[in-house]
Each structure stands twice: as structure tokens, then as C-alpha cells.
Amino acid sequence: MTGDADADAGAAGVSDVVPPLRLAEVTKRYEGGGGTVTALSDVDFAVGTGEVVAVVGPSGSGKSTMLNLLGLLDDPTEGRVELHGEPVAGRSERERTDVRRETIGFVFQDFHLIPTLSAVENVRLPTAFLPADATDRAVDLLERVGLGERLEHTPDELSGGQKQRVAIARSLINEPDVLLADEPTGNLDRDTGVSVLEEVRAIAAGGVGVVAVTHDDLVTEYADRTVELVDGVLRDA
């Protein structure tokens, strides 16, 4: 009987953990010439510490809108975006920028690397206006993703998979709690995609929550959980 009680207490403890990032009953509408478009409808979503969540769905289903809200790049029409249980609404743009830099890392399908900068320079770029020199951390991150011998290479000297690894390293430079990835394997062949996703799993194992928006079934194989958006409605896949 005691064992059952302990198990129940443990389960309650897990459920009481506040996720680093959450959408709470979020609806997002856009007004256009053709009327009102509901991009998201009553979405409740959270990513846990160390969890990899894949978000799938057809084009136009609301995935990009959801990613923009999670990234604090847009505001919901209704509902709340929460960071560590605290609502984001009411914060100034400067406060949002600061908390975004400190809390959220971004990885894009097209890498978004600066072509004239080396791998190290690209990785440390998000820290450009901070007082501390992040070169050592940038080097360490590149070594972690297997690019220790490519530190001074510019993007045109790197393969697609290597560019994505630089982008992943860059997203981690400020030690974020959550990594948001938009089609992280979209421009990669399968073998390279597997290599990148193994790195994503390693990042999650270090305590970072990962949300990957994708059309690629390979990504779902590496996710702890997959959710599907259809016409703005979120459900378990």
C-alpha cells in the first residue's frame, strides 16, 4: 500500500513541474481582406525540460504561427504564452528581446548563417552586444557538434549538414532552456539528417526542451512526443 502511495506522490510531483515554455488555451486570429482567419484555435501545449516534441501537420495548418508564438515573436489573440509559468503579456519589446535571447534558441531550415563570417564568428554572433567574450564557448559548442576542425571555415566551405551543426551550436550559445527548430532536416539528405537529429537528442539530454516543426517523418522517430496541427487545432499524433 505504501508503495502505491509513493508512486502516486511521484506522479503528482512530475505533473507539478512547471514547463519552461507553454501556450495556454491560445487562439490566434488574423484579419484580412477575405475576413477573419483563425490560425490557431484553443491550443494548449507545453514542452518539458529535456523533452523533444515534433509538431506535424499539412501546410497552412498553423505550424509557423505556433512557432512564432513560442518564440515570442507574436502575441495570441486569446490565451497566454508562459515562460517558466509566468505570462509574457505586458512585457516591453526590450524585455521580450532579452528574455528571448536568454531563454530560447532558434534553428532554421535555411541555416541563416552570415556568409562572410567563420563558423566561430557565426556561433558567437548572438552575443555580439554582450560584454563577455563568448569565443571559448563557441569553440566548445562547435567541438561538441563535431566541427572542431572547421572553426575558421566560412559557410561556403561547409556541407549542408555542417551548416546545420553550426546553426545548432549558434542556437545554444546563450544556454537556452528551449530550442525551436523549423524544419531542421528540410535541406538535408537522410544520413545527414540522422546525424543532426542524434545531436538534437544529445542537446535534449543536457536539459534543453526541443520543439521541432517538421514535415519529415524522420524527425518524429527521434521525438519523445508528436503532436499534429490540423486547421489550427492541436491533437496528439
Would 4 be classed as within a structural domain? no
- Domain holding 101, by residue range, is 47-76+91-236
Would 82 be classed as within a structural domain? no
What whole-number distance in Å separates Cα of residue 89 and Cα of residue 227?
Answer: 25
Would 148 be classed as within a structural domain? yes
pTM of the model: 0.87
Would 42 be classed as within a structural domain? no
Count of structural domains within the chain: 1
Would 5 be classed as within a structural domain? no
What whole-number distance in Å separates Cα of residue 191 and Cα of residue 37?
Answer: 39
Would 36 be classed as within a structural domain? no
Each residue's pLDDT expressed in tens, for the chain with a length of 237 residues: 444 444 444 333 334 589 999 999 999 999 887 789 999 999 999 999 999 999 999 998 999 999 999 999 999 999 999 999 999 988 888 898 889 988 999 998 889 999 999 999 999 999 988 899 999 999 999 999 999 999 999 999 999 999 999 999 999 999 999 999 999 999 899 999 999 999 999 999 999 999 999 999 999 999 999 999 999 999 998
Would 154 be classed as within a structural domain? yes
For residue 145, the domain's CATH number is: 3.40.50.300
Would 199 be classed as within a structural domain? yes
